[in-house]
Structure 1
Amino acid sequence: MDPELRSFFDFNSMHMEPWDGPAGIVMSDGRYAACNLDRNGLRPARYVITKDKLITCASEVGIWDYQPDEVVEKGRVGPGELMVIDTRAGRILHSAETDDDLKSRHPYKEWMEKNVRRLVPFEDLPDEEVGSRQLDDDTLASYQKQFNYSAEELDSVLRVLGENGQEAVGSMGDDTPFAVLSSQPRIIYDYFRQQFAQVTNPPIDPLREAHVMSLATSIGREMNVFCEAEGQAHRLSFKSPILLYSDFKQLTTMEEEHYRADVLDITFNPAEASLSETVKALCDKAEQMVRDGTVLLVLSDRNIAKDRLPVPAPMAVGAIQTRLVDKSLRCDANIIVETASARDPHHFAVLLGFGATAIYPYLAYETLAKLVDSKAIDKPYRAVMLNYRNGINKGLYKIMSKMGISTIASYRCSKLFEAVGLHRDVSDLCFQGVVSRIGGASFDDFQQDLLNLSKRAWLARKPLAQGGLLKYVHGGEYHAYNPDVVRTLQQAVQSGEYSDYQQYAKLVNERPAATLRDLLALNPGEDAISIDEVEPAKELFKRFDTAAMSIGALSPEAHESLAEADEQHRRLLQLR
């Protein structure tokens, strides 16, 4: 690509996210008519020009009747391309001509070379600048307990990411209770479910289509994109929103004129203010800091103590993001989150989706360093840190691709989640615009969970919880398919005894509430109706249908069993 054109695109990409579509837009201002296609070309746009200077552009060729010998030119608008018709001059401008005009309007290449800053990559720094452990073993254990880490997470999530640079492979399905129904303390990230593209647009393959995906992040003040000037090129660019120690250090020590960084402590003393009051106060402080010139607003939960609890990072990010948008200040600042709570890709996706620009997961790095020191991970410290970030990056690609989104700039602030079990007060203050069909945990509930974790966190004799979310652990989180349920089901199937089935049914029917349907019960009428008022079985059976259940959705055994049952119903109908 021409360097001048590349600089034009780079300049604009730092101020606006790319348009993933899928859509084609046709527009006109009276003189110019234009057609623009999304960057991935997910919707076709074909044009035909005839001898009488009539041009037609639509998703298909042949939408009106013309003779083949009347056609002067046929073509299509390519992915991300723009076709412009100047009706006054009678000219057609294709993307190449439009690009040539746009790139020559300003010295973009000179602006970019002079003003854009880039972080020095972790790989290019000496060992003394890449960071090291700062928390001793006792303090690290207290932090892990306060932020609800578990031994299971350390071994099955963090260790695997640090060793292999990608998430562990696990079976599909989650048989644990919704966070709001759980009897165990659960972090706020567990209250959100990721949305995915369903009919609206096609998902992207993050492996085979990686060339169209990017986690590149730019920070600095955003200005009016319609008034291009050299000052708009004052941007700081880096490859991933997941910051390593060296990245975070560089960010927070940039020159103050364009990248002033200030820290906003997101911990609180519950004896002085409640969680909801603290969140509102944080919004007020953040607004004032941005008005005073802060460009990098660093939200930090480092200062926890026996009498100080951390505000859940997604709460702080979501509430501050909403406040800054409401006050027209969001383009003046970037939200950097220094948090101990984020450790797997879903956590980072939640923070980014609610408005975080970049995230520094300091406790995840401290934990990985401890695993390296204890030889639980037999790899150098630098390699483990890079592997961890690469693993989180891959997870983010996967999450974005499910929605057909190809860049982190498009995913940021998207709120592409559904909340399950959050009280309306929490949703209204911290997560505006998120789908939340049922209520549930309030600020008081979250504060009580934080207090319970704090009581355990600062007792050295209390070990780190074993966990039990990923695998069944006795005394841990409830699993619908726990060993007792599986054993009694197998016994009932093998013996065929009704008494064995009753044991299985009792375990299922009397289990703790794990899903929303467990909160429902049949409400029988007081008086039974006559059987004569019920539709005959012969008519009911006609409504039974298994055709919609494909073999791709079921195992062959289940598919054959359904087919056999359907055939028996047919025979029963014939006999009657």
Structure 2
Amino acid sequence: VPPAWQNHPDMDPDLRAFYDFNSKHMEPWDGPAGIVLSDGRYAACNLDRNGLRPARYVITKDKLITLASEIGIWDYAPDEVAKKGRVGPGELLVVDTRKGKLWQSSEIDNDLKSRHPYREWMENNVRKLTPFSQLPEDQVGERSFDEDLLKTYQKQFAMTNEEVDQVLRVLGDMGQEAVGSMGDDTPMAVLSSKERLVTDYFRQKFAQVTNPPIDPLREKHVMSLATSIGQEMNVFCETDGHAHRVTFDSPVLLYSDMQQLLELGDDHYRNTILDINYDPQEKDLKQAIDDLCDQAEQVVREGTVLVVLSDRALVKGKLPIPAALAVGAVQTRLVTANLRCDANIVAETATARDPHQFAVLLGFGATAVYPYLAYEALGKLIDDGALDKDYRDVMQNYQYGINKGLYKIMSKMGISTIASYRCSQLFEAVGLSREVVDLCFKGVTTRIEGANFDDFQQDLTNLSRKAWAKRKSIEHGGLLKYVHGGEYHAYNPDVVGTLQKAVKSGESNDYQSFAKQVNERPVAMLRDLMALKKTDSPLPLERIEPKTELFKRFDS
């Protein structure tokens, strides 16, 4: 339970090295928590990194110390008090009951940081990726897909013109998500008539009772997206080998970041790229995922530290395993085989474009994500003149915008660091069958089942058929805004028009037209799957409240 040391510029370098060294192998606990512990000799209190749980202590002249969340739990006279204080965020207070000594956090820090040459170990062994802003132009990256190939990938991975313009363009131009109105009147993914990404089947959890959310703007100094790659080793046996890690500032990889990771010539960071595209004539989706897990387990046992799950090598006749399914299944397999600490998962995928999609991949086990199709689409916008910025600025803006989105998603659960969010599975599945959850998202709540592996394979087949048909254009979209022939919207122009007409005229026939539009709509919400159960013996009218009483309880 360390303090928020990442953004503390005045911290002692040796103490920073101690915290940094241990952060490579254990994520911090955000709390809120005031942890009180004892081994019989030492009694201690450790406060969470953000100081969300108060811990105040009073020491009286007869050397009695009391510590609690409030002052005054023990009755003492004011003149008996020798000292008052509080445990700060991430601080530790220890009492040696044998020697009668009180250890403050600063004294404990001085002892811990000097036990090993942490600073020397970190300087000699930790490798850092060259920041994007410091790279020469020839290493920044550029478009590699021609027009036809880009169009094929966009159709295969359900990227619409609407998404390119309303999501990617805004991220690349402004460095933040587009602002839209609240609410979503489109069908849940499992009820949609369109092919939807697996990430659409998940809803983010948020803090309600157990912990408070964090303000990702005003409290950003306690948050961090710093990511490291390498084996996680025994925290109780500290050696210089524990510091063999590669660090970078964000799990959202740019072109140069990905190239640097793949070119690390060191066994500590040996990589293997696993192609997650499969031939549907040879196996179905479930078998393809099982085979992928077998491959991942084998390469990790053989010494691979960086497992890259890539759908980039797509060819006609093959289908891509959805990255969320691939990452979740490999994560589950490596955990089951007790190999997860020996390897890191990097997703090189076309299915990561907005912050929610990144959050799903990271929350189910990915260490980092390389969204190559997003960069290709942004590159085309630059070439077409839709973005009046150079390639470097657009890529940095996109990464910054996704980072802001991740901060927001983490903060809703009161989580400060990406290390704590990774593998947390802080999602609820809506409309995923039990077989999919058990194989790919073990432990996730799915109260309403639905789509199975066959359904996802059918969606992939439909998308593939469109993708390789050159005359088939990219779909306009309609998920964010109603488009004729696009995704269904509960508040479409026909519904709104008939409602307005009924309100203005007050005629029963006009209201019936509106009611018909609503009652006969496609199944879009769970309530559309239900019907009122009629009884054979209706209640007599004298037992029904008059309309004057019913109106009092109407709410809009």
TM-score interval for Structure 1 and Structure 2 normalised by the shorter chain: over 0.9
Superimposed CA distance per residue, residues 292-335 of structure 1 (whole angstroms, 9 cap, x where no aligned partner): 00000000001212211000000010111111111111110000
Pairwise CA RMSD: 1.6
Find 2:370's aligned residue among 340, 356, 360. Answer: 360
Residue in structure 1 matching 2:545, options 537, 545, 549: 537
Please list the CA deviations of residues 468-522 of structure 1 after superposition, one character each: whole Å capped at 9, or x if unmatched. 0000000110000001111111111111111111100100011011100010001
Counterpart of 1:320 in structure 2 is 330
1:73 is paired with a residue whose SS is: strand
Q: Does 1:371 align with 2:381?
A: yes
Matches within 5 A, 1:353-502: 353-502=363-512
- Mapped to 2, the partners of 1:59 and 1:545 lie a distance apart of 43
In structure 2, the partner of 1:291 is: 301
Looking at structure 1, the residues matched to 203 and 194 of structure 2 have their Cα atoms a distance apart, in angstroms, of: 19
Counterparts in 2 of 1:112-127, with a 5 A limit?
112-127=122-137
Letter in 2 for 1:49: I
User: What is the aligned residue count?
Assistant: 546
Does 2:185 correspond to 1:175? yes
User: Who is 2:173 aligned against?
Assistant: 163
Compute the displacement of 1:541 (Å): 5.2
Quick one: structure 1 residues 183 and 31, their matched pair in 2 at CA, closer, same or farther if it must change by over 3 Å? same
- Displacement of 1:531 in angstroms is 4.8
- TM normalised by structure 2 equals 0.96
C-alpha distance in 2, partners of 1:541/1:326? Answer: 60
* 1:233 corresponds to: 243
Q: Secondary structure at the match of 1:454?
A: helix
> What are the superposed Cα offsets for residues 372-417 of structure 1, whole Å, 9 maximum, x if unpaired?
1111111111111111111111111111111111111111001111
The amino acid of 2:545's aligned partner reads A
Q: For 1:544-555, what aligned pairs fall within 5 Å after superposition?
A: none
Cα distance between partner residues in 1 of 2:428 and 2:552: 33
Aligned counterpart, 2:5: none
Q: Which residue number in structure 2 is paired with residue 571 of structure 1?
A: none
Distance in 1 (CA, whole Å) between partners of 2:43 and 2:551 is 54
Task: Provide the secondary structure at the position in 1 that maps to 2:95.
Answer: strand
* Equivalence for 1:301: 311
Q: Secondary structure at the match of 1:249?
A: helix
The alpha-carbon deviation at position 545 of structure 1 amounts to: 6.1
Aligned to 1:202: 212
Q: 1:281 maps to which residue?
A: 291
Cα distance, 1:537 vs. partner?
Answer: 2.8
| Counterpart pick for 1:55 among 42, 56, 65 | 65
Q: Secondary structure at the match of 1:435?
A: coil
Task: Find 1:4's aligned residue among 14, 39, 56.
Answer: 14
Shift in Å, 1:52: 2.1
Instruction: Compute the displacement of 1:544 (Å).
Output: 6.9
Amino acid at match of 1:507: Q
Structure 2: distance between partners of 1:5 and 1:28: 25
| Aligned mates of 1:166, 1:538 — CA distance in 2 | 53
Q: Which residue of 2 aligns with 1:15?
A: 25
Post-superposition shift, 1:456? 0.5
Query: Quick check: 523-532 or 500-509, which moved more?
Result: 523-532
- For residue 336 of structure 1, give the secondary structure of its aligned residue in structure 2: strand
Question: Aligned to 1:409, what secondary structure does the other structure show?
Answer: helix
Give the 3-state SS of the residue equivalent to 2:516 in structure 1.
helix
Give 1:514's aligned residue. 524
Structure 1: runs of 5 or more not aligned: 550-557, 559-576
**Cα shift at 1:98:** 0.3
Per-residue displacement from partner, 1:323-351 (whole Å, max 9, x unpaired)?
11111111100001100111011100000
C-alpha deviation, 1:528, in angstroms: 2.9
- Cα distance between partner residues in 2 of 1:132 and 1:530: 75
The residue that corresponds to 1:43 in the other structure is 53
Alignment of 1:43-192 (within 5 A): 43-192=53-202
Deviation at 1:41, TM superposition (A): 0.4
Aligned match of 2:7: none
SS state of the match for residue 90, structure 2?
A: coil
State the one-letter code of the partner of 1:453: L
Change in CA separation of 1:52 and 1:313 when aligned onto 2, cut-off 3 Å: same
* Counterpart position of 1:568: none
Aligned in 2, Cα 1:374/1:97: closer, same or farther, shift over 3 Å?
A: same
Q: Distance in 2 between matches of 1:542 and 1:175?
A: 28
Q: Once the 2 structures are TM-superposed, how far is the Cα of residue 540 of structure 1 from its aligned partner?
A: 12
Moved over 4 A (4+): 529-532, 538-546
Which residue does 2:267 correspond to in 1?
257
Give, as a single letter, the amino acid of the residue that structure 2 aligns with 1:196. Answer: F
**What is the CA distance between 1:232 and its match in structure 2?**
0.2
Aligned to 2:35: 25
Work out which of the residue numbers 225, 229, 234 in structure 2 matches 1:215: 225
Q: Take 1:88 and 1:500, find their aligned partners in 2: how far apart are those partners?
A: 85
- Give, as a single letter, the amino acid of the residue that structure 1 aligns with 2:126: V
Q: CA deviation at 1:530?
A: 4.2
The CA distance in 2 between the partners of 1:170 and 1:537, in whole Å, is 42
Hey, what's the Cα distance between the residues in 2 that align with 1:530 and 1:543? 20
Take 1:239 and 1:529, find their aligned partners in 2: how far apart are those partners? 67
2:527 and 2:107 map into 1 onto residues whose CA distance is: 60
Give me the identity figure in percent.
69
Cα distance change of structure 1 residues 68 and 477 upon mapping to structure 2, 3 Å threshold:
same
Give the letter for the 1:136 counterpart: D
Q: Equivalents in 2 of 1:433, 1:545: separation in Å?
A: 41
**Counterpart residue type for residue 514 of structure 1:** A
**Residues 52-86 of structure 1: CA distance to partner in whole angstroms, max 9, x if unpaired?**
22111111011121111211111111110000111
**Cα drift, residue 248 of structure 1:** 0.2
Tell me, in whole angstroms, the C-alpha distance in 1 between the residues paired with 2:44 and 2:244. 31
Cα deviations by residue, 1:421-478 (Å, 9 ceiling, x for unpaired): 0011001100111111100000000000000000000111000001000000001100
The offset of 1:5, in angstroms, is: 1.1
How many angstroms does 1:529 deviate by? Answer: 4.5
Deviation (angstroms), 1:255? 2.0
Q: Partners in 1 of 2:471 and 2:547 — Cα distance?
A: 67
Q: What is the distance in 2 between the residues matched to 1:531 and 1:537?
A: 8
Partners of 1:542 and 1:36 in 2: CA distance: 56
